[in-house]
Structure 1
C-alpha cells in the first residue's frame, strides 16, 4: 500500500510539474512578435515579408510586426538575434550575406551555431538592368563597353557583399572585365539611383520589374535556371555562356537556444502563412516563388552554404586579412 501511495504521489508530482510547462508552451505567443528584415521599406523583400507576417499573425493569434533594419550586407537582423531573448518573440530574415560575414568581417558569433533556423520561405529572381535610353542595348554591348573602358562602367547593388554585388563581381571575373561598384541600402534606393542617372546599370532582384514595365529600364540578363516569364526576351547567364545560377534563398531565424516547441510553433505558423494565396501573389509580383525548407532542412542548408560562401569570398579575393 505504501509503495502504491508513493507511486501515486510521484505521478501526481510529475503531472504537476508538467502542467505549468504545458500551459506555458500553450500560451505562446501571448503578445506581439517582431520580425526584423534586412532591407528598407518599399522593396520586394519588405512587401513580400509583410504579407507573410500578416498571414502568420493570423495563425498565431498575435500580430507579427515588421521592423526594417537595412545595411551591413543584410546582416543586421541576424546580429540583433545575438542580443535578443531566446523566447521566440524576436525573429529575423536571414539573407545569404549572413553566411559571408565571418570571412569578411571580425564578428564574435557564428552564423550557423548561433541562430535557430525556423523555416526557409523563398528566394529572389535577379538580373542586370540599364536605363531604356542607355547605349548598352544588350549584354554584348555591356561587356564590350566594359572591356573598352576598364573600371568606368558603374553598377549599383543592394549593398556590399549582398548576392547582387558578389554575383556581378563573379560575372566580371569570369569575363575578364572591371566594373565600378556603387552600394545602396536596398531596391528602393537603387531604383531611384538608376532612374536618376547616377549609375549606368543595376544588379538587383526583380524589384526593378515595375520600372521595366513602365518603359524606364531594360533587362540585359537574369540569373535563374530558366528565363523569367515576365521578361521572356532576357537571356539567362547560362545562355550567355556563364555557368552561374543565383536565387539566394532566405528564411526566418530565431535566437540560439529558442525552445524546440516554440520553434515548431513558429515553423508551423509560417508554413501555413506561405501557403496563403495572398503571399503567393505578392511573390509573383517579383517573379519569386515559395521555397520551403523545414527547420531541419534549413539548418543543413545553413551549414552547406557557410562552406560554399567561403569558397566564393576566397575566389573573389575579398576575405579579411589573417
Structure 2
C-alpha cells in the first residue's frame, strides 16, 4: 500500500501532534452533531462509534449524538448521511461492510460517490475458528484436511456478502480448497451453531468469540491480520502468502461538505484516538486505534474497493 496507514502507539503519538498542531478551528458546530451508526446498538461498530463520538464531542465542544439506523446491510444509514445537508452536522461512522462490500455485492456503488472521507480511526482482524471436534490445529492442517476431503467442510457467516463470507471466499481462491458456505442471519447464530458442531468453521470479530473460546467449544487457529496485542496466535498469511484483511471503521460526511469542516472533524478524530486509555479498552475488543488524513482514507478506500471487487467477481455472488 503506497499510503501506509499507522495504527497502534505510533499512530496515537502522531494523532496527538495532529490534534494539537493548530488550536484555531475554521468551523464550529452550532448544534449537536449527529453520528449515524448503520447497525444495531451493542455491536462492535456501535461500541467503537460511541467511544469516538464522546471524544470527538470533547474536541468540538459540542455533543455528538449517536443514532443507530440499521437496515439493508448498512446502506440505509449511509444513504441518510449522503442525503443530509453538507454542513458537518450529520456524519457517518462507516465500516468496510456498508461502504465497500455491500455496495459491491449489490452492484450499487453510487452511495460511495455521495460520501466524502474524513478519516480512519481503527481496524480489527477477524479470527479464524473451528469447532472443537475438527481435527485441525493450524491453517496448514486445515488446508491439508480440506484438500483430502473436498466438499465435506463448511463455514458459517453472518450472511451472503458479509465480511466473513468474503474472507473465506478469498481463502478458497488463494488455496484452492472446496468449503461450502452456510449463511446465517447475523454472526451470533453462526457462532452458536459452530459451538454446537453444526458447522465446521467461521471467521468473526474477537469479542463475539470470547465466551465460546473460554468454554472450549471452539478453537482459534489464526488471525486475518495483526492484532492490537499479542494473542499468541499466528496470522493466516504465515501459511497463505498475501492473505490479509481487517474490518475497519472511519468517519465520512456528505460529498459536498466543505474542506474546512472536514479538516476540523479530522483533527477531532486525531484527538479522539490520542486517548491511551481508550486505546487500551478497544485493544481488549481486538481493535487497534489509528489515524489517517482524509486523503489517506480515500486512497485506502479505493484499494479496498479494488481488492473486494475482485473477490466478489471471482466468487460469483454479485447480485
Q: Give TM class, smaller chain.
A: 0.7 to 0.9
Q: What does residue 100 of structure 2 align with?
A: 99
Runs of 4+ in 1 over 6 A off after TM superposition: none
Q: 1:77 to 1:136 in 2, by over 3 A?
A: farther
Is contact 1:227-1:235 (8 Å) kept? Answer: no
Is contact 1:151-1:178 (8 Å) kept? Answer: yes
Q: What does residue 222 of structure 1 align with?
A: 223
Q: 1:227 to 1:78 in 2, by over 3 A?
A: closer
Q: What does residue 304 of structure 1 align with?
A: 303
Deviations 1:269-318 (A, max 9, x none): 12101111232122211332112111122122223333333333223333
The 10-residue stretch of structure 1 (60-69 or 114-123) with the greater mean CA deviation from structure 2 = 60-69
Taking the aligned partners of 1:198 and 1:121, their CA distance within structure 2 comes to: 36
Q: What does residue 182 of structure 1 align with?
A: 182
Unaligned regions of 5+ residues in structure 2, if any? 1-25
Larger radius of gyration: 1
Q: What does residue 16 of structure 1 align with?
A: none
Q: What does residue 168 of structure 1 align with?
A: 168
Q: What does residue 127 of structure 2 align with?
A: 127
Query: SS at the partner of 1:125?
Result: strand
Deviations 1:251-278 (A, max 9, x none): 1101111222222222111210111123
Q: 1:108 to 1:165 in 2, by over 3 A?
A: closer
Q: What does residue 199 of structure 1 align with?
A: 199
Q: What does residue 280 of structure 2 align with?
A: 281
Is contact 2:78-2:111 (8 Å) kept? Answer: no
Q: Cα distance, 1:166 vs. partner? A: 0.9
Taking the aligned partners of 1:278 and 1:188, their CA distance within structure 2 comes to: 28
Q: 1:263 to 1:190 in 2, by over 3 A?
A: farther
Aligned residue pairs: how many?
292
Unaligned regions of 5+ residues in structure 1, if any? 1-24
The 10-residue stretch of structure 1 (309-318 or 189-198) with the greater mean CA deviation from structure 2 = 189-198
Q: What does residue 272 of structure 1 align with?
A: 271
Q: Cα distance, 1:86 vs. partner? A: 1.8
The 10-residue stretch of structure 1 (243-252 or 212-221) with the greater mean CA deviation from structure 2 = 212-221
The 10-residue stretch of structure 1 (142-151 or 28-37) with the greater mean CA deviation from structure 2 = 142-151
Q: What does residue 317 of structure 1 align with?
A: 316
Is contact 1:38-1:77 (8 Å) kept? Answer: yes
Q: 1:201 to 1:72 in 2, by over 3 A?
A: farther
Taking the aligned partners of 2:69 and 2:192, their CA distance within structure 1 comes to: 19
Deviations 1:109-154 (A, max 9, x none): 251x3111111111111121134x3234424554455445544533
Query: SS at the partner of 2:236?
Result: coil
Taking the aligned partners of 1:71 and 1:145, their CA distance within structure 2 comes to: 38
Per chain length, whose mean CA-contact separation is higher, i.e. which structure has more relative contact order (CA < 8 Å, sep 6+)? Answer: 2
Q: What does residue 46 of structure 1 align with?
A: 46
Q: 1:280 to 1:57 in 2, by over 3 A?
A: same
Taking the aligned partners of 2:297 and 2:174, their CA distance within structure 1 comes to: 30
Q: 1:31 to 1:307 in 2, by over 3 A?
A: same
Taking the aligned partners of 1:197 and 1:88, their CA distance within structure 2 comes to: 48
Q: What does residue 244 of structure 2 align with?
A: 245
Is contact 2:161-2:317 (8 Å) kept? Answer: no
